[in-house]
A and B are shown apart, each in its own frame.
Chain A
Amino acid sequence: MSLDYLLTITVFMSVNVILATSLNVLIGFAGQVSLGHAAFFGIGAYTSAILTVKVGVDYWWALVLSIIIGGLIGSLLGLPSLRVREDFLVLATIGMNFVVVSIFNYVPFFGGPYGIISIPRPKFFGHTFGTRAYAMYALIWAVAVVLFVIFLSKRYVRMGFDALRENEDAAESIGVSSPRYKIYAFTIAGALAGLAGNLWAHYMTVIFPDNFSFPVSISIITMVVIGGLGTITGPIIGAVLVTILPELLRFIQDYRMFVYGMIIVFTMLFMPSGIMGFLRGVSNGSTFSRKYIQKIRRIAGS
């Protein structure tokens, strides 16, 4: 196991953590079942790739634009969620994944099935990022994204998402505008996934439409679901597991999809709240720790 190999795994893991976390915001927090997440991933990747390769934009600007455009397209693709109920939304999002990949595949501007190559590595003060630097770079972003989500989770926005997820009508009746919050969720998810796409594209230096197809969406869902939907550590655990598993169990490389599929099936059967959900259920009989209750008393008493 060379250092290079470990560093590459780190990059993949970081990208996956960001992807899983972003999907978790959409599904776990806001309850919008979106199954085409790889589309946002791809949009971020292609945006950055095209900007740097074909337009000659500097990496750092491309990074900013990947995030912004990811967010914009996220909100656009989120529009169906305003008109369309749960089940329909699932289909619409799967469809969107498909349409987006088709566009990458067939529109010549995006390079068609041969993808885009020679994507440059970022440069910092003249030094191009080698593998080691990039691994650290990706890791920093992963941590930043998680911190961002933790930040959000402590605010009323999270309450809004929770309300929306639990019961849309009741949420409206306490002042939560469901269109607004749905768009919030899609925008955030899209922006973060766009970031992940940028990180991926500039590490791999080549991207193909197939990198963002439905099976990829499936693996992202797997990460969130195994780890625990709605929690913050859940997607992280899921991402780590899904990244490492094929490496640890080398022999399953060939059966990867089969294993993922069965993992999903069994997790749903026996641990539907994911690993985090399972751990939480096991560790405390009462719902909340005394520490939590004391904290509340303290805040309220002051």
Chain B
Amino acid sequence: MVALSVENISKRFGGLQALKEVSFQVEKAEIRAIIGPNGAGKTTLFNIINGFLKPDSGRVLFNGFNLVVLRPNKISQLGIARTFQIVKTFLGMTVLENILAGSGCEIYHQITSFFEKPYGSRYLKDALKIAESCELQEYLYSPAGTLPLGIQRKVEIARALATKPQLLLLDEPVSGLNDLETQEIVKLVKKINSQGVTVIFVEHDMHFTNEVAHRITVLDYGVKIAEGTPREVMSDPKVMEAYLGSEESA
């Protein structure tokens, strides 16, 4: 069953065509990687799926909704959660508070937000469970801003999980992490996926990508140039040219 369907998305910034008629479909419970050389339009694509950017044309279908016309918070409520390239944890808040903040996803737009307590037993239990599954128990009461990057990325993912998403978008989840930290994220992503959450991520780290992704979509200069299993994509000559070619010009 298709979780997300990206159909002919195009986006232009002034003179630059960031995305051109990009289309692909992601199956439920699949882990899909979106890769490509720098400037290929990957984060732009995420921003469009997430609602932060409106495409010039095309649709993004999720559960029957066209995300293109919706506000980011509404998209989050529909079940799509996201992490950011430059980690955006709530720095002044503790890890527990970060996760609790995510738990409120479904009520923020309702009147009940004026009555429900984050520190009520239901939300608290949920948050503690999530913290546990992400192995963040020892950091619960630390302000996010004091934590190292690897932990912060996990906090961001934990917070995203608190919104009970069907689809998780991870923007460069291991960027800036060392091997040990990267492995933690690998474990975490696989665990999340095993519970039925569809995952789409953007990455430059090919080891991480190959280890985690079921399928890969490759973009170059805003155009999809390849798609398939990691093995297929890695041996695709077009992909090699895209990467090597851009290295030459660098």
A contacts, CB < 8 Å to B: 152, 154-160, 162-163, 166-167, 169-178, 180-181, 286-288, 292-293, 296, 299-300, 302
Name the interface size band of chain B.
35 or more
Chain A interface mostly: helix
B contacts, CB < 8 Å to A: 50-52, 71-74, 76-77, 81-82, 84, 88-94, 96-97, 100-102, 104-109, 112-121, 124-125, 128, 141-143, 156, 159-160, 162-163
Contact of A287 among B52, B73, B89, B141 (CB under 8 A): B141
Asked if B114 contacts A170 (CB within 8 A), the reply is no
Asked if B113 contacts A160 (CB within 8 A), the reply is yes
Residues of B within 8 A of A155 (CB): 113-118
Residues of B within 8 A of A300 (CB): 121, 124-125, 128
Shortest B167–chain A CB gap in Å is 12
Asked if A175 contacts B119 (CB within 8 A), the reply is no
Q: Which residue of B lies closest to A287 (CB)?
A: B141
Asked if B141 contacts A293 (CB within 8 A), the reply is yes
With A175-B76, A175-B105 in contact, do A154 and B119 touch (Cβ < 8 Å)?
yes
Asked if A167 contacts B88 (CB within 8 A), the reply is yes
Given the complex of chains A and B, what is the CA–CA distance between A250 and B232 in angstroms? 83
Residues of A within 8 A of B163 (CB): 174-175
Residues of B within 8 A of A173 (CB): 50, 72-73, 76, 81-82, 84, 160
Given the complex of chains A and B, what is the CA–CA distance between A286 and B93 in angstroms? 14
With A177-B109, A296-B124 in contact, do A156 and B118 touch (Cβ < 8 Å)?
yes
Q: Which residue of B lies closest to A302 (CB)?
A: B121
Asked if B82 contacts A160 (CB within 8 A), the reply is no
Residues of B within 8 A of A167 (CB): 88-91
Contact of B76 among A157, A174, A296, A302 (CB under 8 A): A174
Residues of B within 8 A of A287 (CB): 94, 141-143
With A177-B109, A287-B142, A299-B120 in contact, do A169 and B84 touch (Cβ < 8 Å)?
yes
Residues of B within 8 A of A299 (CB): 119-121, 124
Residues of A within 8 A of B89 (CB): 167, 170
Given the complex of chains A and B, what is the CA–CA distance between A302 and B122 in angstroms? 10
With A174-B159, A177-B109, A296-B124 in contact, do A159 and B101 touch (Cβ < 8 Å)?
yes
Asked if A166 contacts B92 (CB within 8 A), the reply is yes
Shortest A206–chain B CB gap in Å is 37
Given the complex of chains A and B, what is the CA–CA distance between A158 and B88 in angstroms? 19
Residues of B within 8 A of A302 (CB): 121
Asked if B52 contacts A174 (CB within 8 A), the reply is no
